Amino acid sequence: MKGKRIGLRRRRGKDPPNKSAAALVLTLDAAFVEDLDDSFKDNRKDDIWLVDFYAPWCGHCKKLEPVWNEVGIEMRSSGSPVKVGKMDATSYSSIASEFGVRGYPTIKLLKGDLAYNYRGPRTKEDIIEFANRVAGPLIRPLPSQQMFEHVHKRHRVLFLYVGGESPLKEKYIEVASELIVYTYFFSASEEVLPEYVTLPELPAVVVFKDGTYFVYDDLEVGFPQKPA
């Protein structure tokens, strides 16, 4: 849902209608972004929040503001469970400090007791993609070969856990909780894999990249700290 433009008649001594209408559109757009105060810390636990911590004097923050309003509109209109807010980190410095805010603007997705930093491009599309990825499940199941092929085509690097419950899966979940800010993590049964994939044993973590794949099949093999 986009901000609704409302036509205004020009009146003598008033701002030109284009200026008044533009200001009204900005106000309506901003309504999709909640201004957060010191009550936010105690009231946020049951929701997932995407928050822009800003400073009023920060030029980069002012540049982000219209993009952030668009993010709020898009998240609301898409039915996302993620709530979009902004907080003046200079007025509520103690709360910002607790969330690890060190500069402005700082974008974080807050989910339960976890706070995920966004460090990508400050575009509506990239921020929304980050929010939807991190807000969703850590491990996304792929129930069919068709779904696997669909996901494989969309991701240059694809992490996939194959098998049942195991210490390896626990490690996989642990890694996913840290690296979900960079990429998606999936799981599937062996039947879902393409015929060219051969696994020496199960469970295993398969990484698809650049038209080939390799296997993490031992807990002693470290996972990459950031997908290349």
Let me know if the fold of 32-135 is the same as that of 140-216: yes
State yes or no: is 117 an active-site residue. no
pLDDT of residue 223: 53
pLDDT of residue 112: 86
- For the four alpha carbons of 96, 101, 106 and 109, in that order, the dihedral sign comes to negative
Q: How far apart are the first and last CA of the chain?
A: 36
Contacts of 87 (CB under 8 A, 6+ apart): 35, 36, 37, 40, 51, 52, 53, 54, 95, 96
State yes or no: is 103 an active-site residue. no
Nearest residue to 129 (alpha-carbon basis) of 106, 100, 107: 107
Model pLDDT for residues 44-91, shown as the tens digit of each residue? 878 999 999 999 999 999 999 999 999 999 999 999 999 999 999 999
What does pTM read for this prediction?
0.77
**Tokens representing residue 107 in the block:** 């974008």
- Domain regions of the chain by residue span: 32-135, 140-216
Active-site annotation holder among 51, 61, 75, 101: 61
Max intra-chain CA distance, the chain: 81
* Percentage of the chain lying above the pLDDT 90 cut: 71
Model pLDDT for residues 149-203, shown as the tens digit of each residue? 999 999 999 999 999 999 999 999 999 998 999 999 999 999 999 999 999 899 9
Name residue 59's amino acid.
G
Active-site annotation holder among 8, 25, 28, 58: 58
Among the CATH numbers 3.40.50.10800, 1.10.10.60, 3.40.30.10, 1.10.1270.20, which is that of 140-216? 3.40.30.10
CA distance 219 to 110: 30
Q: Are strands 82-88 and 114-118 parallel, antiparallel or unpaired?
A: unpaired
Q: Please give the CATH superfamily to which domain 32-135 belongs.
A: Glutaredoxin (3.40.30.10)
Phi, psi of 205 (to 5 degrees): -110, 120
